Copies of this chain bind each other. A is one copy, B any other.
Amino acid sequence: MQILQVKKQLVLTSRLEDLGHLPLKALTSETGELFVAMDPVGTKDGDWVFTIANSAARDAAGDKRLLTDLTVGGIIDDWQPKQK
């Protein structure tokens, strides 16, 4: 799993149907790498979270059929990033 910070919710014009109804969030790592994850936890911008990848990401989103490879697993309490 990875530790990432929530940046903003994505607004999509065209999208596949099986993405479901969870918000898609843009997140960055401490080193600035950019990711997109499904958010079943209800995070706010600025929250530090950990994310779950690949097959476990689909279960984490609540339905094996959902089209995701990265899902927020929880909000980390009081995370102190190094490179800030």
Which positions in A face B, CB cutoff 8 Å? 1-3, 10-16, 18-19, 24, 26, 29-30, 34-37, 40-43, 50, 52-60, 65-70, 73-78
Contacts and interface: CB of A to CB of B under 8 A. Distances in A.
SS class, residues of chain A in contact with chain B: mixed
Contacts of A34: 2-3, 29-30
A16 B41 contact: yes
17 contacts: A1-B37, A1-B68, A2-B34, A3-B34, A10-B76, A13-B76, A15-B73, A16-B41, A16-B74, A18-B59, A19-B73, A52-B68, A53-B69, A54-B69, A56-B66, A57-B69, A60-B67
Contacts of A16: 40-41, 60, 73-74
